[in-house]
Amino acid sequence: MDFGPSRVAISNAVVSFERDIAGEIKDKTKSTRRYHRKMDRQRRAANPQNYNANGTIRKGRKTWLKKIRYQQTQAKHAESCRQAAAQRKSIHGNLTYDVLTLGTEVIVEKVSYKAWQRSRFGKSIAKHGPSALEGTLTRKAENARGSVTRVNTYQTALSSTCLCGARCKKTLSQRFHACTVCGLGTAAPLPRDTFSAYLAIFTESETVSRKKGKAATLSSRLDLEAANSHAPGHRTLSCVLSAAAFSQKPRPASRPAVEVATQVAAQVQSPEALNTDGGHELRVPRGLGAKSGSRADLESAKPRQRKPARQVRNAVTSDASRIPFL
């Protein structure tokens, strides 16, 4: 599995796909902002002595008065947050059940969700809760006599590694894998998260050291030979591999339009092209005029007139007896 701020990529030895972590939850950003502004106005109106003239909070020890209206607004905001948390927990449980139906041995990348929350994904982390999903998945997998193994991202670099062994670091805006060495992902789109989840299946991790009060140090290794051997039988990667192999086949070079036009002009200007003495015919390539004939035929050629619908219907009816299976 490859976790993101709002989506997770799931893969096994047969198929790969992506799912929203909590996409069914209604976005309550505007309502939360309204609750916060309303509580701030009520707090300022009830405690004017705790604010300076410029609107900032006064320093020192203060006593805050919470009136009934403020408590009612605070209770409404708490109820809204409770409903979102309950819905998120239910969605995480359903997604965990879907993952464990594919297998009880789960492999995920060891990432810092707090770093994501501090950097740029604060609202997305608060809405979807990927860390809570990972905790639920770990607990349910252990109950099913499975396990959740974490992989060191610095040693494996799943998002930057290709099946050929080449590594190319990608930015966050590059959401598809396209290798410039072997051509994987250039002919058909290959999502980078889905490909990373597939590569995570063939990783091995072990705990090197564990110090008191600190996180355990992991050592991970990626087996590219096993990943290459299982790729043709994978539903998602087999289509991408076949498209890449087809795009690398040599194709016959097409004749330039300038060369075709020069050949036609030379045939028209030469006297041998006329059908008067030698019986030579002027051959014009398809798409540039009539199929064949002399210069007189070309000059007297007229555009074909479309037959009326009644004549076409009669012709089809009269020729129906010539079709062998009728």
Q: Where are the alpha helices (DSSP H) in 64-107?
A: 68-100
Q: Where are the alpha helices (DSSP H) in 101-221?
A: 113-119, 122-128, 130-143, 153-156, 192-200
**How far is it, in rounded angstroms, from Cα 124 to Cα 117?**
8
In the numeric block, which tokens belong to residue 288? Answer: 């540039």
pLDDT digit string (tens) for the chain, length 326 residues: 999 999 999 998 888 889 999 888 888 889 999 999 999 999 999 999 999 999 999 999 999 999 999 999 999 999 999 999 999 999 999 999 999 998 899 999 989 999 999 988 998 999 999 999 999 999 999 999 999 989 988 888 888 888 888 888 888 888 898 888 888 888 888 899 999 999 999 988 877 666 665 666 678 888 888 888 888 888 888 877 777 665 655 555 555 555 655 665 665 555 554 444 444 444 544 544 444 445 555 455 555 555 555 554 444 444 444 434 33
- Is pTM beyond 0.75? Reply is no
- Phi and psi at residue 71, to the nearest 5°: -65, -35
